[in-house]
Structures are given as C-alpha cells and as structure tokens.
Amino acid sequence: MDLDFTAQQQAFRAEVRAWLHDNVPRAPLASYDTREGFEQHRVWEARLAEGGYSSVIWPKELGGRGSDLIEWLIFEEEYHAAGAPMRVNQNGILLLGPTLMEFGTAEQKARFLPRMARCDDMWAQGWSEPNAGSDMANIASRAIRDGDEYVINGQKTWSTRAVFANWLFGLFRTHPESSRHHGLSYLLVPLDARGITIRPIKALNGKQAFAEVFFDDVRVSAANLVGEEGQGWNVAMATAGFERGLLLRSPARFQRTARRLVELYRRHQAAADRDPSIRDGVLQAWMDAEAYNLASYHTVGRLLQGGRVGAESSTNKIFWSELDLRMHETAMRILGPRAELIDDPEVHDWLEGFLFAQAGPIYAGTNEIQRNIIAERVLGLPKS
C-alpha cells in the first residue's frame, strides 16, 4: 500500500501541468449556459482536443491518451488546481462516448467520436421524459421503423444544454406494444432535423441550462441506431456503471472547492466564528473532500488489479452531491448578509455554485434512487 506516484505518473503530471499553464485562458469564460459563454467553451474544448486532453482515458486512435484511471485522477487534479474552465460536452464524452466505443459501428465511431472530442458536435441527452424521470423505463416517445428510417414522435425533457446542442442521443420505444425496459432503442438524432422543436427551460439562475425537445414525425436514418433494435436499455445501462459514477465528478473538483472554502473562512474568520458551527462545517468539508479522493484512489487501485466493485457509483453520487451542498451552504453562512449580492466578486461564484449544488442530489439519478440501489444491490434487501 502506498500513495506514491511512479516516475512515469509524475512525468505525466508535469506534462499536464505545463500544458495547462500555457493554455488555460487567463480570464474566466462566460457561463456556458449563455450563447457567448457556450462558444467560448467550445473553443476551449477544441484546444483541449488538440492537446490530446479531451478525454485522457480514450484510446490514442480516437484522440485520447490511452491513460489508466490513475492518470485520469492526476489529470483531473491538475485540471482543477489550474482553475481550468468547466467542461461543456461531458454528457457526450462520458455517456455517449463509451457507449459508441462498445456498441457503435466502425462508421459511427469514425463519424462521431473525433467530432465529439473537439466539440464540433455538441451532444444533448434524451433520456428523461415528462413521465419518465426516476422511473426511466416509463419512456413513451416512439421511433417507428419505416424503410431505412425511424419516425420519431414524443417529447424529451431536462436535456442539459440542448439549446446549444446540434445532436441528441436518447432512448425511444421502437416496439409500440412493449413496456418498461423492453422494446427501447438507442438512437442518435440531429437536432436540425425537420419536426424538432426545442423549448428552453430556465434554471434557478435564470439561464437556459436545459430544454424540452419535441419530436413531430422526425425522420432519422436507421444508420443512427446504436446497438441492436430493442436493446436500447441494455446499451444505455452497460456504460452507466461504476466508471461513469466516478468520471462524472472527480474528487479534485471538490478538493478545490474545499480549498476555496478554507481560504474564505480564513479571510473572514472573526465574523464567521460568531457562529461556531461554521468552523465545524469548514473542517467537515475538507475531511469529506479528502475522503472522496482517498476512496477514489482505493477503488481505482482495486479496479486496476482486476477487482470488481459494487455500488460505488451510488455511494459516490450520494457522497459528493451532499458534500457539495454542505460546502456551499457553509460558504453562504460565512458570507452572511452579503451572500445574496450576486454581483459581488467574492460572492458570485459561491452563489452560482450554491444554486447548482441544489441540483446535485437530483440529477444523474436522485439520491433516493441511489439509496434504493445500495440497499438492493449491496445489502441484498428485497425490492419494494
């Protein structure tokens, strides 16, 4: 047991650090939920791809570096330590990317993966529907085969950044008589196709963070089917396991927030200490961010030895989302009456982060669903 990096890992870290030092934009980018900010983030994604850093764990021939998960953790540490921009196309890179690698045809991989890595294509997720949220198997949108096309009718919702996306990956019911997770298919849909209407949904911060997507006799080539027809649920779930649970939120992100929180507390310690629970909250934030980091190295180590992991993606999801919420709540309390002043430079990022942290326990599978998964798959308790 050790926590020492090999010479090769240290060299990788040095290389990443130097590249980020030379390339990270000096001025912060505008929010990627605005048109201007989205375009800035797209330029940044293209720059990352040029450096081979779009997704370090992707194979080299697809624009990655063929890194293992330790190198991925190192990359994330350097990325967040450098204060580099938020990643705008992660739904594509984390969800669709691995799915195409496992189930896509050679033509689909060649057509979509390099463009995804450069953010030439921006991908929206088409899973949730008005009546299929936590109960995702209740999907009702249909895609009916007609010759070498599918005809799609229905509605998707909560599609993150769909306002700026040009493609959507989603699950559609291709067998009209089917129910639940049977008879679904995984389709790739160009968002400029005729019959698509995108209606933005404003998030808590007033920005168009996601959208509803309506399909009215939208015709999509059957070449855009990923995996076999009717197997969409399995295709989607195959890459929804541990790796995604880890990759979605690296520990470095929270260690950076914890660092900022300690610094915020130290700047305002006299005022903050009027409420003794604040100091406690700061300590807890550091401890939990550290715990998440150590747990990640422990789990990755076991994975690299060929070990199997259980429901880590569910415990991770609960842990980081609740940690993120608590850290931002503590920051709000340190800021006191200033915490509502959205234009105050010291407040702005904390307040935006606080709003976004509210969503953490809800997106990517609510924490209630994650607790069910832990109880049933780790503890073996009977289904409800």
Partner 1 sequence: MDFTFTEDQLALRDSVSRFLMNEAAPELLREIWETGGGRSPELRAKIAAQGMTGLSVPEAYGGLGMSDIDWALITEEIGYYAIPDSLADTACVAPALLRAVPDAEALRGEWLPKIADGSARVAVEHPVNPWVADVHLADLVLAFRAAGDGALELHAVRGADLHHSALGSIDASRRLAVLSQPLGASTRLLRGAAVQPLADATVDRAAFAVAGQLVGLAQRMLDLSVDYVAQRKQFGRPIGSFQAVKHHLADVVTRIEFARPVLYRAALALQRDDRHRAAFVSHAKLACADAAWTAARKGIQVHGASGYTWEVDLQMFMKRAWALDAAWGDRAFHKARLGATLFGDEAPLGPAATLY
Contact positions toward partner 1, by CB under 8 A?
Answer: 1-6, 9, 13, 70, 74, 76-78, 80-81, 251-252, 255-256, 258-259, 262-263, 265-266, 269, 279-280, 282-283, 286-288, 290-295, 297-298, 301-302, 305, 311-312, 314-315, 318-319, 368, 370-372, 374-376, 378-384
Whether the CB-CB separation of 314 and 370 falls below 8 Å is answered with yes
Least distance in angstroms from the C-beta of 107 to partner 1: 38
Amino acid in position 186? Y
Q: How far is the CB of 373 from partner 1 (least distance, A)?
A: 8
Minimum Å distance from CB 261 to partner 1?
10
Q: How far is CA 206 from the centre of its chain?
A: 21
Contacts with 179 (C-beta within 8 Å, 6 or more apart), sequence order:
none
**Which residue number, 33 or 76, has a Cβ lying nearer to partner 1?**
76
Contacts of 74 (CB under 8 A, 6+ apart): 5, 9, 12, 13, 16
Of the pair 55, 293, the CB lying nearest partner 1 is at 293
- For residues 172 and 156, give the distance between their C-alpha atoms in angstroms, rounded to a whole number: 10
Question: How many CA atoms, within 13 angstroms, populate the side-chain half-sphere of residue 360?
Answer: 24
Tokens of 70: 């330790």
Compare residues 35 and 266 and give the one whose CB is closer to partner 1.
266
Residue that is written with structure tokens 């450098």 in the block: 82
- Please, which residue, 182 or 279, has the CB nearer to partner 1? 279
CA distance 241 to 102: 14
The CA-based diameter of the chain, rounded to the nearest angstrom, is 72
Q: From the candidates 77, 129, 243, 312, give the one annotated as an active-site residue.
A: 243
Q: Which residue, 160 or 296, is less far from partner 1 as judged by CB?
A: 296
Has 243 been annotated as catalytic?
A: yes
Q: Distance between the two ends of the chain, CA-based, in angstroms?
A: 40
Query: Looking at the annotation, which residues are catalytic?
Result: 243
